[in-house]
Amino acid sequence: DVKVTQSSRYLVKRTGEKVFLECVQDMDHENMFWYRQDPGLGLRLIYFSYDVKMKEKGDIPEGYSVSREKKERFSLILESASTNQTSMYLCASSFSGELFFGEGSRLTVL
Partner 1 sequence: SQQGEEDPQALSIQEGENATMNCSYKTSINNLQWYRQNSGRGLVHLILIRSNEREKHSGRLRVTLDTSKKSSSLLITASRAADTASYFCATGALGGSQGNLIFGKGTKLSVKP
33 sits near partner 1 (criterion: CB under 8 A): yes
| CB burial string 11-43: b at 16+ within 10 A, e below | bebeeeeebebbbbbeeebebbbbbbeeeeeeb
Q: Identify the residue among 41, 52, 54, 110 touching partner 1 (CB under 8 A).
A: 41
Q: Which residues pair with 45 in a beta bridge?
A: 35
Q: Identify the residue among 8, 17, 43, 73 touching partner 1 (CB under 8 A).
A: 43
Site of interaction with partner 1 (CB under 8 A): 4, 31, 33, 35, 40-43, 45, 48, 50, 59, 90, 92, 94-104, 106
